Amino acid sequence: MTLEDLVRLRRARDVMDRDYARPLNVPALAEVALMSPGHFSRSFRAAFGETPYNYLMTRRIERAKALLRRGDLSVTEVCFAVGCTSLGSFSSRFTELVGESPSAYRARRHEAVAVVPACVAKILTRPPRNGEPVRNGEPVRIGEAESAAAS
């Protein structure tokens, strides 16, 4: 993979980070990266370790967690606000990544995160990816994985 390919893939990833709520699909993202859809999907996975769809859904779930912590929107409103079109698919993916349903996450207390700067909260509340271990609905951080495996 060339440096030019990586620059184009990064451009497509930036579009996903910025425009996660818009309807995005592989052909549209491949066009941003100036690649064919198949080549884009393979190259994206090779460069970033996950498929474009998984990356986009992780961004959407991160944003959904922030909206659910606020507590002023219903789960359905959050689903559509982050660009998902199916409440069932959104709930299933949210539960898969976070370890609890959107409703349960929304009902849980989040005061501890409220006092943390947004840039740190984003890292601490990031949904786990690529088989990362999960404990109490949150990813286990570096150095904690051994204690999670022991418990």
What DSSP string describes 69-86?
Answer: HH-SS-HHHHHHHTT-S-
Question: Are residues 22 and 57 in contact, defined by beta-carbon separation less than 8 angstroms?
Answer: no
pLDDT of res. 142? 47
Task: Evaluate whether 43 touches 10 at the Cβ level (below 8 Å).
Answer: no
Enter the tokens of residue 108: 């849980």
Nearest in space to 79 (alpha carbons), one of 65, 98, 100: 65
What residues in the chain have per-residue pLDDT under 50? 142, 144-151
The reported pLDDT for the residue numbered 125 is 64
Which CATH code fits 58-150?
1.10.10
Mention every residue, 6+ apart, whose C-beta is less than 8 A from residue 15.
24, 29, 32
pLDDT averaged over the chain?
84
**What is the value of pTM for the model shown?**
0.73
Looking at residue 146, its pLDDT comes to 45
- Domain residue extents for the chain: 3-49, 58-150
What is the pLDDT at residue 145?
46
Strands 134-135 and 138-139: antiparallel
- Give pLDDT, residue 13: 96
